[in-house]
């Protein structure tokens, strides 16, 4: 079967072409760049909200895109159980649209931060982590100014197993030093209750090819391979 | 400043009496106010290069002499053919004056401007690099303020547009305290077809003139005139001449422009930068041999009631002018509509060779299209400053500190320490092309997706060397920046420069410019490097403290690496491998960090360049690469080679055991050997098995290559074979000092 994935292009998205490249040329699905006003969910098996600065991050990052008609389309996908991932700005949009709990605040340092970090897998049953092992420590870069995760429902998230990734050091320990932005409990990514939608600040599309990784890893691919696996299981 | 009169009103213009007479003779009438304003802007130093043009003729014609150069100086960007149907466009520009007054928006709009220059070559901007100069940071809140907000301005603008900032360079020196330098460079990648689609001229009568992007407002009026003067106490009042950037609109302009160019209906393309509409419209028609009729009422303005003077001179950001074939008008407008970009058809081209602008029924501009770009060149006097002799004769004092203390002091100095504080704020990975990350190589390396080709690029120069000898200093800058590209595995292919100097009306300031240009011209001819573009920023001088900046002819080099396996990085790879020094170390400490950090001296003899040796060194490196003999390479730079070795040790936690007995030819003192800044040297790593072969290649090219030690697993650098006692350096301590200097100065 051909797996069809939409990469939604909001005005100001800037990781859209990067994501398309990885999905088409590395993972090998059929990914299309869809202008946000033209998105029709029925044609796709899953969708990606890529990184960038949708609508210039004006007002508050993600908030304007969260009111785009494409989000109503995406909501249908969400309810239907199809996979949705928000990366960086996409994560911000998904929290603003309340697909996912919590909010992303300005980094504790008050500065943009671009660096390779490690994240530890805390839930490997979601649509985007089923090819990972619990406790895997993934090498992946972050690049954001507003990535400090905050929630007032921490206990609930923990009980429901909605915390998918935490920032860790090289040895996989969850430490303050490993936290690039001051996120609550080192949270790097979360999922919805149904686990078909996840959001994270790090960029899997920048970590999917050996040539781009300082450690020659391809951990970013696991996200997209998991998505493919999830879609296959769903439709078989 | 002379005043011109019209209908009882007076206008101050930055024009000379000769220019005023020439303009009146040409038109055979008194120009309108708007026309005076346009002449004023277009004849400013910034737009007309009237002082620099006679000297820049020394650069050989790149388009004529190099078959891979597709566009050379005089265009919005240089363009080179890199094979497989691809071309690279690149350019560097200054945004010094605005940044000195308003660092955040000054730097941000600098980025905005350089992106537009690349975009108007029809290719996608894929990388930014920023050479910067500030006063020293320590105990200097003003320099800290400029530094912090320039970096933030670059980060916020560059990150939002999705163009990675892959490299840069910074120096801190008190001569830049009032006049910081913000140079911005951009690289664009596209197919040769993309480039040929979009020349920056209107060649055909009957085409539509379309303005797209941001609205025209009252900001930035006379920005270029302001940039063509020295800074004074009154400069604060010029803050309104600094434009405000909008990176979100810029991102949309990039996408809309590239999509419009792809339609094939765009015949000409020009960005609105310095000089605004005046510059864009006169250059499009003047260069294309056409004229145009423009209806000012169609131009969308930010506020009502703007007069023609303001509209024609506004330097509002984020605007592009398109020349569109009549049959493609609808298609192109649909593209702009999709991206929800404001746009307007403002006129049509004709064969009149005259630029006419109507404000309602009033003809407010009626000028021969080429008139504005014909500013008469000015021959400036150049005189070598007398104080140089005294400076050059300064001797290196005999050190009273222990060598290790000197090394610890140097590595913690502002000019040598880690610049991670800066590049962590830049998104240097967006675009999924960055294969060598900031800090891992001497230059940024990008892949070209779908090929096995890589681009290496680096920027910089050494202002302290140029201050003592601008001729050798400019050449030294070239050796260093070409060296950076070579150290990454690429052969230098082309150069652009950004000349930052003082007031050209002062013979002593102009002499620095003259000599630097001569140095660059001579070197590039000899080493066969085409100069495909440049920018000149004069008047980096401050009348309050009466200081001029140190001469700063910034160089940018791009090169191409064929094959992933040929990319070389800086960190040492493996204990047991040999450390080799390439090149000769001489007692060249003039303008060195050693002089300035330890003795607060600015003088001494700076390094001299021998082009034949440089050429031989390049050939040696390229041949060694071909045989896969070099596992790490880092050029020797500020502070001398021990600091180079320390940087190579850090990343993989390795150490070095050195024996320096054979290191030099001359009888050098230990401090001269260790801290010399002789240019054209490299530290390379090779496996012990390949040592003979690499020395043989060195012999063949007649250059000096010596094994100076071995890589170890111990966290220290040991120096034996000195005239004095051995030196033992603790790498953890070195690394701490290296990493903490800027954060300690900048973080409260």
pLDDT in tens, B573-621: 999 999 999 999 999 999 999 999 999 999 999 999 999 999 999 999 9
Backbone angles phi, psi at B296, to 5 degrees: -60, -30
Transcribe B598-611 into DSSP letters. Answer: HH----SPPP---H
Interatomic CA distance for residues B79 and B63, integer angstroms: 10
Closest to B431 measured CA to CA, from B444, B451, B449: B449
List the single best residue of B430, B561, B743 to mutate versus A (max A Cβ within 10 A): B430
| Domain span including residue A31 | 4-235
Model confidence at A236: pLDDT above 60: yes
| Contact assignment for A14 to B160 by CB distance below 8 Å | yes
Which of B27-36, B101-110, B436-445 shows the lowest per-residue confidence on average (mean pLDDT)?
Answer: B27-36
DSSP conformational letter for B378: -
B398 exposure class (CB count in 10 Å sphere: 0-12, 13-18, 19+): exposed
Pick the CATH number of B388-417+570-748 from 3.90.650.10, 3.30.70.80, 3.40.50.300, 3.30.450.40: 3.90.650.10
Model confidence at A154: pLDDT above 90: yes
B366 exposure class (CB count in 10 Å sphere: 0-12, 13-18, 19+): middle
Which region holds residue A25: left if phi is over 0, alpha if psi is between -120 and 50, else beta?
alpha
Say which residues have a Cβ less than 8 Å from residue A233's Cβ, sequence separation at least 6: none
Model confidence at B325: pLDDT above 60: yes
In chain B, the percentage of residues whose pLDDT exceeds 90 is 79
| pLDDT, mean of residues A147-169 | 97
What's the pLDDT score for residue B185? Answer: 98
Count interface pairs A-B at CB distance under 8 A. Answer: 86
What's the pLDDT score for residue B222? Answer: 66
Q: What is the mean pLDDT of chain B?
A: 93
| pLDDT, mean of residues B682-688 | 98
Model confidence at B29: pLDDT above 90: no
Backbone angles phi, psi at B242, to 5 degrees: -85, 130
Q: What is the per-residue pLDDT across A62-76, written as a single tens digit (0 to 9) for each?
A: 999 999 999 999 999
| pLDDT, mean of residues B43-68 | 90
Model confidence at B226: pLDDT above 70: no
Cα three-residue angle B556-B445-B80, rounded to 5 degrees: 50
| Contact assignment for A112 to B437 by CB distance below 8 Å | no
Which of A109-113, A189-193, B235-239 shows the lowest per-residue confidence on average (mean pLDDT)?
Answer: B235-239
CATH code 3.40.50.2300 for B1-57+198-375: no
| Contact assignment for B432 to A141 by CB distance below 8 Å | no
What's the pLDDT score for residue B122? Answer: 92
Model confidence at B418: pLDDT above 60: yes
Task: Locate the domains of chain B by residue range.
Answer: 1-57+198-375, 61-195+432-563, 388-417+570-748
What's the pLDDT score for residue A134? Answer: 97
In chain A, the percentage of residues whose pLDDT exceeds 90 is 98
What confidence tier does B564 reach under pLDDT thresholds 50, 70, 90? very high
| pLDDT, mean of residues B270-274 | 87
Interatomic CA distance for residues B704 and B726, integer angstroms: 24
Question: Cα separations (Å) of B607 from B133, B417, B473?
Answer: 21, 22, 8
- Strand B682-686: give its sheet, edge to edge: B632-635, B682-686, B578-582, B705-712, B655-659, B716-720, B727-730
| pLDDT, mean of residues B456-465 | 97
| Contact assignment for B161 to A206 by CB distance below 8 Å | no
Interatomic CA distance for residues B435 and B303, integer angstroms: 46
| Contact assignment for B429 to A55 by CB distance below 8 Å | no
Q: Are B695 and B581 in contact (CB under 8 A)?
A: no
Interatomic CA distance for residues B679 and B670, integer angstroms: 18
What's the pLDDT score for residue B315? Answer: 86
What confidence tier does B230 reach under pLDDT thresholds 50, 70, 90? low
Query: Helix, strand or coil for residue B175?
Result: helix
Q: Which residue of B has its CA nearest to A209?
A: B432
What's the pLDDT score for residue B241? Answer: 64
Catalytic residues of B: 46, 95
Name which of B247, B424, B432 is nearest A18 (Cβ-Cβ): B432
What's the pLDDT score for residue B16? Answer: 84
What confidence tier does B8 reach under pLDDT thresholds 50, 70, 90? low
What's the pLDDT score for residue B92? Answer: 97
Q: Which residue of A has its CA nearest to B248?
A: A56
Closest to B171 measured CA to CA, from B135, B206, B196: B135
Structure token digits, residue B555:
């160089």
Model confidence at B238: pLDDT above 70: no
B interface with A, Cβ–Cβ < 8 A, is 152, 155-156, 159-162, 246-249, 251-252, 338-340, 423-432, 434-435, 437, 440, 447, 449, 564
Query: What residues form DSSP beta bridges with B183?
Result: B94
What confidence tier does B219 reach under pLDDT thresholds 50, 70, 90? confident
What's the pLDDT score for residue A44? Answer: 97
Q: Which residue of A has its CA nearest to B440?
A: A214
What's the pLDDT score for residue B10? Answer: 76
Model confidence at B237: pLDDT above 70: no
What's the pLDDT score for residue B579? Answer: 98
What confidence tier does B703 reach under pLDDT thresholds 50, 70, 90? very high
Q: Which of B42-56, B198-212, B456-470, B657-671 has the highest mean pLDDT?
A: B456-470
Interatomic CA distance for residues B138 and A89, integer angstroms: 37
Model confidence at A223: pLDDT above 70: yes
Query: Helix, strand or coil for residue B96?
Result: helix
Model confidence at A230: pLDDT above 80: yes
Interatomic CA distance for residues B473 and B679, integer angstroms: 10
Q: pTM higher than 0.90 for the full model?
A: yes
Which of B229-243, B661-675, B715-729 shows the lowest per-residue confidence on average (mean pLDDT)?
Answer: B229-243
**Count of C-beta atoms within a 10 Å radius of residue B623:** 15
Closest to B485 measured CA to CA, from B625, B349, B358: B625
DSSP conformational letter for B173: -
Better-scored residue on pLDDT, B232 or B125: B125
Q: What is the mean pLDDT of chain A?
A: 97
Q: b/e for B28-56, b at 16 or more Cβ within 10 A? A: eeebbbbbbbbbbbbbbbbbbbbbbeebb
Dump strand ranges (E) for B360-486.
Answer: 362-368, 434-436, 444-447, 453-460
What's the pLDDT score for residue B570? Answer: 96
| Contact assignment for A143 to B430 by CB distance below 8 Å | yes
Say which residues have a Cβ less than 8 Å from residue B472's Cβ, sequence separation at least 6: B465, B519, B606, B607, B608, B609
What's the pLDDT score for residue B662? Answer: 81
Structure token digits, residue A45:
């098996």
Query: What residues form DSSP beta bridges with B191?
Result: B86
Q: What is the CATH number of the domain that holds A219?
A: 3.40.50.880
**Count of C-beta atoms within a 10 Å radius of residue B699:** 12
| pLDDT, mean of residues B712-723 | 95
Model confidence at B275: pLDDT above 70: yes
Interatomic CA distance for residues B30 and A199, integer angstroms: 65
Structure token digits, residue A21:
């490249």
Q: Are B284 and B202 in contact (CB under 8 A)?
A: yes
Structure token digits, residue B330:
């609808």
Interatomic CA distance for residues B80 and B71, integer angstroms: 7
Which region holds residue B328: left if phi is over 0, alpha if psi is between -120 and 50, else beta?
alpha
Interatomic CA distance for residues B106 and B244, integer angstroms: 8
**Chain A neighbors of B573, CB-CB under 8 A:** none
CATH architecture of the domain formed by B61-195+432-563: 2-Layer Sandwich (3.30)
């Amino acid at each position: 079967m051909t797996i069809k994935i939409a990469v939604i292009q909001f005005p100001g998205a800037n990781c859209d072409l990067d994501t398309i490249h990885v999905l088409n040329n590395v993972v090998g699905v059929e990914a299309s760049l869809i202008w946000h006003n033209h998105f029709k969910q029925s044609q796709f098996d899953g969708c990606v909200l890529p990184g960038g600065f949708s609508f210039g991050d004006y007002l508050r990052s993600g908030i304007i895109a969260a009111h785009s008609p494409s989000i109503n389309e995406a909501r249908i996908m969400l309810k239907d159980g199809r996979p949705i991932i928000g990366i960086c700005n996409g994560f911000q949009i998904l929290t603003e649209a309340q697909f996912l709990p919590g909010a992303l605040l300005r980094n504790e340092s008050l500065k943009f931060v671009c660096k390779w970090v490690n994240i530890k897998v805390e839930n490997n049953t979601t649509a985007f982590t089923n090819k990972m092992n619990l406790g895997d420590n993934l090498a992946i870069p972050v690049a954001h100014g507003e990535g400090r995760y905050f929630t007032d429902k921490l206990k609930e998230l923990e009980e429901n197993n909605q915390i998918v990734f935490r920032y860790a050091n090289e040895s996989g320990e969850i430490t303050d030093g490993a936290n690039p932005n001051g996120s609550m409990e080192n949270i790097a990514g979360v999922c919805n209750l149904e686990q078909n939608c996840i959001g994270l600040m790090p960029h899997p599309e920048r970590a999917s090819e050996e040539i781009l990784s300082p450690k020659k890893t391809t951990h970013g691919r696991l996200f997209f391979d998991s998505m493919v696996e999830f879609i296959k299981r769903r439709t078989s | 400043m002379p005043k011109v009169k019209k209908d009882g009103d007076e206008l101050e213009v930055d024009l000379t009496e000769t220019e005023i007479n020439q303009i009146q003779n040409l038109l055979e009438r008194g120009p309108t106010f708007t026309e005076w304003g346009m002449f004023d802007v277009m004849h400013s130093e910034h737009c007309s290069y009237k002082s620099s043009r006679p000297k820049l003729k020394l650069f050989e014609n790149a388009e004529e002499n190099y078959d891979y150069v597709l566009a050379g100086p005089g265009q919005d960007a240089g363009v080179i053919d890199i094979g497989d149907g691809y071309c690279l466009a690149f350019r560097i520009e200054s945004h010094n004056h605005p940044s000195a007054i308003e660092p955040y928006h000054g730097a941000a709009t600098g980025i905005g401007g350089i992106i537009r220059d690349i975009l108007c070559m029809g290719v996608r901007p894929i990388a930014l690099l920023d050479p910067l100069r500030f006063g020293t940071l320590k105990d200097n809140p003003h320099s800290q303020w400029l530094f912090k907000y320039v970096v933030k301005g670059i980060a916020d603008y560059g990150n939002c547009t999705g163009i990675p900032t892959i490299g840069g360079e910074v120096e801190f020196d008190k001569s830049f305290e009032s006049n910081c330098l913000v140079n911005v460079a951009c690289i664009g990648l596209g197919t040769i077809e993309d480039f040929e689609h979009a020349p920056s001229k209107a060649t055909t009568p009957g085409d539509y003139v379309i303005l797209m992007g941001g609205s025209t407002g009252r900001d930035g009026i006379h920005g270029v005139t302001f940039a063509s003067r020295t800074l004074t106490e009154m400069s604060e009042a010029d803050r309104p001449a600094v434009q405000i950037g909008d990176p979100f609109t810029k991102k949309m302009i990039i996408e809309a422009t590239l999509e419009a160019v792809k339609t094939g209906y765009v015949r000409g393309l020009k960005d609105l930068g310095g000089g605004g509409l005046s510059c864009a419209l006169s250059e499009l028609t003047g260069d294309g041999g056409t004229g145009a009729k423009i209806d000012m009422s169609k131009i969308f303005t930010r506020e009502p009631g703007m007069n023609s003077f303001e509209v024609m001179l506004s330097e509002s950001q984020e605007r592009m002018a398109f020349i569109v074939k009549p049959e493609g008008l609808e298609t192109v407008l649909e593209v702009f509509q999709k991206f929800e970009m404001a746009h307007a058809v403002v006129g049509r081209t004709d064969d009149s060779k005259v630029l006419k602008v109507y404000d309602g029924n009033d003809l407010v501009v009626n000028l021969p299209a080429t008139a504005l770009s014909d500013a008469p060149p000015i021959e400036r006097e150049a005189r070598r400053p007398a104080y140089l002799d005294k400076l050059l004769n300064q001797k290196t004092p005999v050190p009273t500190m222990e060598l290790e203390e000197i090394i610890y002091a140097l590595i913690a100095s502002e000019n040598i320490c880690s610049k991670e504080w800066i590049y962590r704020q830049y998104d240097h990975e967006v675009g999924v092309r960055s294969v060598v990350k900031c800090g891992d190589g001497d230059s940024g390396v990008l892949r070209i997706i779908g090929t096995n080709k890589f681009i290496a690029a680096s920027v910089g120069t050494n202002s302290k060397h140029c201050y003592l000898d601008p001729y050798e200093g400019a050449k030294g800058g070239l050796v260093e920046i070409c060296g950076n590209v070579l150290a990454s595995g690429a052969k230098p292919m082309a150069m652009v420069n950004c000349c930052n100097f003082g007031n050209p009306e002062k013979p002593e300031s102009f002499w620095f410019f003259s000599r630097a240009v001569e140095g660059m011209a001579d070197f590039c001819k000899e080493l066969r490097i085409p100069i495909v573009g440049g920018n000149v920023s004069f008047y980096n001088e401050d009348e309050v403290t009466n200081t001029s900046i140190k001469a700063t002819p910034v160089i940018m080099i791009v090169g191409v690496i064929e094959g992933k396996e040929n990319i070389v990085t800086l960190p040492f790879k493996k204990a047991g491998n040999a450390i080799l020094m390439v090149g000769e170390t001489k007692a060249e400490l003039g303008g060195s960090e050693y002089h300035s950090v330890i003795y607060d001296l600015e003088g001494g003899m700076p390094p001299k360049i021998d082009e034949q040796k440089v050429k031989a060194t390049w050939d040696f490196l390229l041949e060694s690469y071909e045989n896969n003999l070099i596992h790490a390479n880092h050029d020797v730079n500020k502070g001398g080679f021990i600091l180079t070795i320390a940087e190579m040790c850090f990343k993989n936690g390795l150490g070095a055991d050195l024996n320096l007995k054979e290191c030099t030819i001359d009888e050098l003192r230990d401090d001269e050997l260790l801290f010399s800044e002789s240019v054209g040297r490299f530290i390379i790593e090779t496996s012990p098995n390949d040592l003979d072969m690499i020395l043989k290649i060195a012999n063949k090219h007649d250059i000096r290559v010596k094994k100076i030690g071995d890589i170890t697993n111990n966290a220290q650098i040991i120096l034996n074979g000195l005239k004095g006692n051995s030196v033992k350096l603790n790498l953890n301590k070195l690394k701490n000092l290296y990493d903490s200097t800027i954060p300690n100065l900048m973080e409260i």
